[in-house]
Amino acid sequence: MAARTARAEQVSATRELILTAAERLFAERGVNAVSNRQVSEAAGQGNNTAVGYHFGTKADLVRAIVRKHATQIEEIRARLLAGIGDSPDVRDWVDCLVRPVPQHLAALGGPTWYARFCAQIMTDPVLHQIVVEESLTSPSLRQIIDGLTACLPDLPPEVRAERGEMARHLIVQMPAERERALAENRPTPRATWDDAATGLADALVGLWLAPVANRP
């Protein structure tokens, strides 16, 4: 199935070329600041409509980038999830939630752009919905959220929703921050992606277990 014909191979190669070029440009200059033409040129395609041909609109291109990484991240997440069974420990579930993205970035090696790309998508009013559709449908993710919820039976549902949002933001933004520091040769609080994940998990456990102030 893989490389069935020389033709199909070539096509998927240029698709990949466009995908990585777009990811890089989007991360470095901002999604809306980069035109499809620039992406095509950066991908080495003399054709200035290559993006439009292989993907459709820019939103479709963004979706394709998200999906490419999502499948790999999903694998990591499923593997971690299988490793903890139905632990009653909040820490285990938080680890499952936190580690997939940093582990994926570490596996990519070298300089990466995906975290910064994601951080931008998440705050863009129109692109935001795309990534929600693509990643929140993950069954393993829902399973982790349920498992974490079961560990925190005393937390009011609104507070749980609230802290879920906080966790989501940190899981996206902190890797982006580290990636940015790496790209600009600035020092990072942690030496490796794995250590960064540990630091983030530490903090999130504290966040989830924090007492709720009884309001007047």
**Where do contacts with a copy of itself occur on this chain (CB under 8 A)?**
27-33, 116, 119-120, 122-126, 158-159, 161-163, 165-166, 169-170, 173-174, 176-177, 180, 189-190, 195, 198-213, 215
**Nearer to DNA by C-beta: 48 or 87?**
48
Q: How far apart are CA 5 and CA 25, in angstroms?
A: 31
Of 31-39, 84-92, 161-169, 208-216, the segment contacting DNA by CB under 7 A is: 31-39
| DSSP 8-state class, residue 155 | S
Token pair 């582990």: residue: 103
Contact call for residue 53 and DNA (CB under 7 A):
yes
Query: At residue 129, what is the residue type?
Result: Q
Of 7-15, 92-100, 128-136, 205-213, the segment contacting DNA by CB under 7 A is: 7-15
Contact call for residue 8 and DNA (CB under 7 A):
yes
Neighbours of 6 (CB within 10 A): 8
Looking at the chain, list the stretches that DSSP marks H as alpha helix, in order from N- to C-terminal side: 6-29, 36-42, 50-54, 58-84, 90-98, 100-108, 114-123, 128-135, 139-151, 157-183, 193-209
Token pair 């997440």: residue: 77
Q: How far apart are CA 115 and CA 191, in angstroms?
A: 17
Contact call for residue 215 and DNA (CB under 7 A):
no
Contact call for residue 1 and DNA (CB under 7 A):
no
Phi, psi of 29 (to 5 degrees): -115, -10
**Min CB(37)–DNA separation in Å:** 4
Site string for DNA, 82-111 (x = CB under 7 A): ------------------------------
* Interface contacts to DNA, rule CB under 7 A: 5-8, 10-11, 14, 35-38, 45-50, 52-54, 56-58
